[in-house]
Amino acid sequence: MRVARKAVRSRDQCAVALSGGTTPRRLYSLLASDWEASFRRRVKWDALHFFWCDERHVPPDHRDSNYRMIQDTLLSKVPVSPDRIHRIHAEEQDAQQAAEQYERDLRAFFASHDRPPRFDIVLLGVGPDGHTASLFPENESLRETGRWVVAPWVAQMNAYRVSLTLPILNAAAAVVILAAGEEKSDVVQAALEGDRDPGRIPVQGVQPVEGTLLWIIDRAAARKLTKKK
Ligand code: 6PG
């Protein structure tokens, strides 16, 4: 909230990039629930612009679509106008074309053709294998430094994905990584306390250059941490 308020105060807008996954989905459901009605009333929804950190190579109404999940879980339940929702058009036949289109959209929105876009808030999940967004272990997309958006073939998923690259995630003002559940306890311990190897544990590559990084970890996922923060 503090980051969003600061962005709105200074630029009258706040650019948020969201991820898919069951853990982020639980946060979206909470934000849209009656439990958080008072929080929702405090959010200046008409100043927020919503983007995606990544997308599966499927149409927007597909059950696996991150757009569909976030639209159904959150955006359809809060007062955000369609012109502030900037999805990845992953229904393109060719994932690379979808990535290029999204990059053009980002360059237009951030009015930038060289320096990276600075999202105000980036929300990420982390997979048990250490992937984040759609940046998977030992994938060449982890080494991309020129393009803002890539369309990696993800062998682990036997599918193409479309994803922001690490430099773009790291250009953000505030990055939040969510991890919950026993099945994330190994990757959380490896990511936070293990040897640094972003090629093997991509989430370790999330190191904001001039921004903040906040991990939100539940008890079960934190169980194997030796140094309780
Ligand atoms: C996706 C996400 C992905 C997700 C993690 C965590 O498209 O699936 O962007 O990076 O956030 O895999 O997902 P879970 O919370 O479901 O484990």
The answer to whether residue 51 scores a pLDDT higher than 60 is: yes
- In ligand 1, which atom is closest to the CA atom of 55? 7
Contacts of 112 (CB under 8 A, 6+ apart): none
Could you tell me if residue 58 is inside a domain?
yes
- In ligand 1, which atom is closest to the CA atom of 161? 7
State whether the beta carbon of 133 lies less than 6 angstroms from ligand 1: yes
Cα 224 to averaged position of ligand 1 atoms, centre (Å): 21
Could you tell me if residue 229 is inside a domain?
no
Give me 218's structure tokens: 């539940």
* C-beta atoms surrounding 46 within 10 Å: 12
Its domain, for residue 101, covers 2-217
Strand, helix or coil for residue 217: strand
Could you tell me if residue 161 is inside a domain?
yes
CATH of the domain at 102: 3.40.50.1360
The closest residue, in CA terms, to atom 12 on ligand 1 is: 127
State whether the beta carbon of 130 lies less than 6 angstroms from ligand 1: no
Cα 66 to averaged position of ligand 1 atoms, centre (Å): 9
The closest residue, in CA terms, to atom 17 on ligand 1 is: 127
Between strands 85-86 and 48-52, the pairing is parallel
Domain count along the chain? 1
The answer to whether residue 3 scores a pLDDT higher than 70 is: no
Asked if 119 and 173 count as a contact pair (C-beta separation under 8 A), the reply is yes
Residues paired with residue 181 on neighbouring β-strands, in sequence order? none
Could you tell me if residue 82 is inside a domain?
yes
Could you tell me if residue 19 is inside a domain?
yes
pLDDT for res 41: 81
pTM of the model as a whole: 0.95
Closest CA to 8 of 138, 203, 173, 229: 173
Give the residue carrying structure tokens 């272990």. 137
Could you tell me if residue 225 is inside a domain?
no
The answer to whether residue 33 scores a pLDDT higher than 80 is: yes
Could you tell me if residue 226 is inside a domain?
no
Could you tell me if residue 222 is inside a domain?
no
Best of 51, 126, 136, 201 to mutate for ligand 1, by most ligand atoms within 8 A of CB? 126
The closest residue, in CA terms, to atom 14 on ligand 1 is: 21
Q: Return the percentage of the chain with pLDDT > 90, whole number.
A: 83
Over the stretch 166-219, which tens digit does the pLDDT of each residue have? 999 999 999 999 999 999 999 999 999 999 999 999 999 999 999 999 999 999
The closest residue, in CA terms, to atom 15 on ligand 1 is: 23
